[in-house]
Amino acid sequence: MRGHVIKNSLKLLFGALLLIISLFPVYWLFVMAVQPSENLKTPCLYPAAFTADNFISLFAESGFLQPLKNSVIITLISLLFSLTFGLAAAYILARRRFSNRWKSGLSFYILIIRILPPVAFTIPLYTMFNRTGTLKTLFPMIMACILINLPMIIWFILGFFRQLPEEVEESAMIDGATEWQLYCRIVLPLVLPGIAAVAMLSFMSAWNEYTYSIIFVQSPQKYTIPLALAALNSEDNLTNFGLVSAAGLISMLPAALFVIFAQNYLIAGLSSGAVKD
Amino acid sequence: MKAEGRITTASGNRRRFATAMAAPPFVILAVMTAYPLIFTVLYSFTNFQLLRKTVKFVGLKNYIKLFTNEYFLQSIGVTVKFTVFAVLFEVAVGFIMALFVESIHRERTAKILRVLLLVPYLLPSVTVALSWRMMLSPNYGIINRTLEALRLPVYNWFSDLHTALPMLILIDIWQNAPFVFLLLYAAMQSVPQSQYEAARMDGASYVQQVRFITVPGIAPVLALCALLRTIDSFRIFDKVNLLTGGGPANSTTTITQYLYAYGIKNLKFGFGSAGAIIMTLIVLVLSCLYIKKAVK
Amino acid sequence: MKMKKVTALVLSGMLAAGVLAGCGSSDGAAAPAASADTQSAPAKAPAAASTEAAAESTSQASEGGEVKGDGQTLTLALRSGTYADVIKDCLPDFESKYNAKTEVLELSEDDLHSKVALDASNSDGSYDLAMVDGSWMAEYTENGVLLPLSDYGYELDDDIIPATTTICYSDDKLYLAPYYGNVTVLLYNKQLAADADYDSGDKIASLDDIKKIADSAKAAGKKGFIYRGDTPNNTVVDFLPVLLSYGGWVIDENNQPTVNTDEFKKAMDFYKELVATGEAQEKDDLIASVDQGNGALGVGWPGWYTPTADTTADYCAITGAVEAGGETHNANVYGVWTLGVPANSQNKELAVELVKYLMDKDVQLSTIDNGGVPCRYSSLQNADVLARYPQYKVVCQALEGGVYRPVISQWTDFYTILGTEMGNILNDQKTTEEGLADAQSQLEELMSE
């Protein structure tokens, strides 16, 4: 009984420590964001005064709303497509019954794409989008995010599909289910936790995409959040840490909301009970 | 006879289904990668400079230049050091985090913890870099203030030859261990509970359960985590560029930072492409073990 | 058709200018009184007065038939920060006068450099006006990125500080207009300087004086001289004023590297001693150190700090002498932001009009209250301006004695190599001799490519 108490309090301590380390830098952003800039020179563990100025000027003067909109559009559209395509591709690659002599070659190719540094793609892609006249739209950015996320989704979900015993599908097939029904009704629900996790990851990388955007984005109307953030940080001026912190906090919000949403989905997937017996 | 006919239709359907499922993603990837890849390889044999109108074929000159350049060789060393330490610690810390959250039986607490522990990963790299820079500043940084108050030694973290790289590694671990945590945690959910129950009946200790059930159960995802983190650590750029710019004395110049300085910033894309190809080859070699297993 | 269009434009331009000049006159009368009693608060009145003057000057231009615009949109690629803010404040007025719309893309220095270059490969350019750093000039003009402004009827006037115009020409054609006067200055903590018996910036007349202040601060347990060691570019830029003071430079007149000369070595040895009194810090820390008195000195830009009588820190121009009374050199390094028009702009004429408008004497004067630093005597020596912003005297001195970074197309590579070797020297990874010899041989190879 005493051992149990010690174990629990150790656990509590460990959890608290983990949380402090994880959250302190974010808390610090908050402290910097809500204080008037005079206070920032002499740091204190909690805000000495509160102001909303940084947030107001972020939207009123720095026009943060448009980048926010663009980032949401780019992220959601690219997520939709990369998830749909990624899951489909991974399923085909994972199942032995869809035999194909190209398969190992394709797996290898996808891995290569994931490995290649973006540096290797940006310039030729720029010329490609330029020639097709799509450079002034959000299309190149959406495609870039799909390019980043698709290989990751395929590789990630592949592991989940491979873990599912093929017998489940075979028995369903004997019951007369078509491939399509099998995929939608039986296989996908079983990997829901995986889907939720990979959706979170893809959301993050699309939301934070910087390398491609800096080359592809041609007009201020098409700015994304990371670009707007980077523009706030300039070498020749004193950095306005209050403003940067406020922007940093806001840049985190949609992702946090998404995670909370996907978290519930993850729970639903788990409680469907098919995976855990 | 009859049975054979049915099988043929079934396999025909199956092939059609497979094609319909796999064609769109592969067509997109082919268009988005084949074209740029061909050009990157071609560029790497030329002196292509964006502004210069003439492009000349220079053979292996870019590659030779890279391999005889002391900075480039140094940058490979820095990158390997960064990758090894970052990946090792990220996987270890992520694994411990996952075990910890998994061991919490109160559904509510676990759920909240999962979200909170993920927060570092939710921040854009730019924000992460700026936040840490503020905290580590030798003047107004809260960390040096605290260390001073505790009478511990303080450093000029990003300008000191001995602390700059470890600091970058630390920040990378802080940001990316939650990523590993998330993947491993999700994988742990798919390990059947019955196996644990059986082990407990046999009197297996917690460590034994972890060692013989959890680890084998999540092994593929563990390997995937290590691979993904290796790939991403290997091309670490944004944090380096924002926090140290490769300094002091090149001690934090990773390969991408080097390529950025000598192949992108000066618009010498021919040279940069050669570097990108070499980098790809190195990562391929590093991850060949995994690839061998995965591509089977 | 064309004739009709031009006539319509000229007429609308005249009308717009006339209307503005009309309302301006009543404001103008109130202006002097208003500017006299507003000392610290941004005075709007002088700005209004200068707008009126600008309107008059443009109305003259419109009679010459040069004002065009039929509601098209000009896209400006600008350096983010104050530089862009100053221009953005002027745009609404330009838009209404010239019947045009504008769109501003704010970028960091590196991104601006590569974006303008990337866009240059398109036949239809996306940008109509770009901010250009002096050090990109050679690269851009050699490859036809920029439009010769002189071919479109724009020339620089005499009011502009001559040293700032030296890089604007190529083959006798004008390509760039010096817009924002950014130049290195010596940032120092007043108290720590006074402790070493330097109670005013004017007394810091040589490198010796700088060293004395740094030593005295170090003896008092503070940091002496602080430099930016984070990127090769910053490492080089902070060192250049010292190098120039020793009479050295990074290239000779034939664009051959000269980093292994006696002057360079002497400067480097001195700099190493100077740096040993302090440490490397990132920009925001450097400013905070000097402001809070944790550090004594550093090389900085005027945009970093606004000194007043009450602030703890101030800045002064670097005189370019090694010892008191010694030979002086132009030792302040320019970071002037110039305006250029990309050669593939879709609205060349109107873009040149925008350059003319932004470079206008009175428009430039009006930007001062928003943080602008024109490279003009009429602005920087204006009694009204100096009464409100005394530090502009120092900025003007620094601009007069300024030097551009070398105008060579390989400059990006050049500073990367030099800065890296300097980092090795300053961090004791190499001796001065080794580091400079290595730099020299690499730079020779670079320049011979």
Return the domain boundaries, chain B: 1-33, 61-295
pLDDT value of position B175: 94
Chains in contact with A, counting 3 or more C-beta pairs less than 8 Å apart as contact:
B, C
Q: Does the pLDDT value for residue C310 go beyond 90?
A: no
Q: Which residues from chain B sit within 8 angstroms of residue A259, using beta carbons?
A: 115, 118, 122
* All structural domains of chain A: 1-51 (no CATH), 57-270 (1.10.3720.10)
For residue B196, pLDDT beyond 80: yes
**Where residue B10 falls among pLDDT bands split at 50, 70, 90?**
low
Q: Per-residue pLDDT averaged across C280-307, rounded? A: 89
CA distance C36 to A259: 58
Q: State the pLDDT at residue B149.
A: 86
A chain contacts of residue C283, beta-carbon cutoff 8 Å: 235, 239
Q: How far apart are CA C118 and CA B51, in angstroms?
A: 8
Supply the pTM of this predicted model.
0.83
- Among C9-23, C186-200, C254-268, C357-371, the range scoring the smallest mean pLDDT is C9-23
Q: How far apart are the first and last CA of chain A?
A: 29
Task: Tell me which of A151-165, B101-115, B190-204, C100-114 is least confident.
Answer: A151-165
Class of domain B61-295: mainly alpha
The confidence score (pLDDT) of residue B19 equals 83
Quote the DSSP letter at residue C313: E
* Mutual angle of helices C411-426 and C432-448, in 10-degree steps: 170
Cβ contact, residue pair A238, C81, below 8 Å: no
Counting residues of chain C whose pLDDT is more than 90, the rounded percentage is 54
In this complex, do B247 and C280 lie within 8 Å of one another by their Cβ atoms? yes
Tens digit of pLDDT for each residue in C311-347?
Answer: 899 999 898 999 988 888 989 999 899 999 999 999 9
Nearest residue, CB atoms, C288 vs list A41, A215, A221:
A41
Please say whether the beta carbons of B280 and A120 come within 8 A: yes
User: B288 CA to chain C: closest CA distance, Å?
Assistant: 34
Nearest chain C CA: its distance from A231 CA (Å): 6
Residue range A77-89: average pLDDT? 94
- Using the Cβ of C282 and the Cβ atoms of chain B, whether some distance falls under 8 Å is answered with yes
The 10s digit of each residue's pLDDT in B111-164 is 888 889 988 988 888 888 888 988 898 887 888 888 888 888 888 888 888 899
Query: Is residue B82 scored above 80 in pLDDT?
Result: yes
Cβ–Cβ gap A162/B284 under 8 Å: no
Are the Cβ atoms of C106 and A239 closer than 8 angstroms?
Answer: no
Residue C400 exposure: Cα atoms within 13 Å on the Cβ side: 12
Q: How far apart are CA C314 and CA C305, in angstroms?
A: 8
C99: left (phi over 0), alpha (psi -120 to 50) or beta: left
The more confidently predicted of residues B106 and C68 is B106
Q: Write out pLDDT tens, residues A163-192.
A: 777 777 777 778 777 888 888 888 888 887
Nearest chain C alpha carbon to A239? C284
Which of the four pLDDT bands, split at 50, 70 and 90, describes residue A210? confident
Average pLDDT of the segment spanning A72-82: 94
Instruction: Please check the confidence at residue B87 and state whether its pLDDT lies above 90.
Output: yes
C-alpha closest to that of C112 among C150, C73, C83, C86: C83
Specify the amino acid at residue B118. Answer: L
Nearest to A159 among B116, B174, B220 (CB): B220
Is any Cβ of chain A less than 8 angstroms from the Cβ of C73? Answer: no
Within 10 A of B98 (CB to CB), how many other CB atoms are there?
Answer: 23
Please give the pLDDT value at position A238.
66
Question: B249, B164 in Cβ contact below 8 A?
Answer: no
More confident position, C57 or C436: C436
Q: Which structure tokens are listed for B263?
A: 């192949």
Distances (CA, A) of C107 to B162, B197, C370, C411, C412: 33, 59, 19, 20, 18
Strands C129-133 and C402-403, sheet pairing: unpaired
Instruction: Please give the structure tokens belonging to residue C121.
Output: 């490969």
pLDDT (tens digit, 9 = 90+) per residue, A126-153?
878 888 888 888 999 999 999 989 988 8
Chain C residue numbers touching A212 (CB-CB < 8 A): none
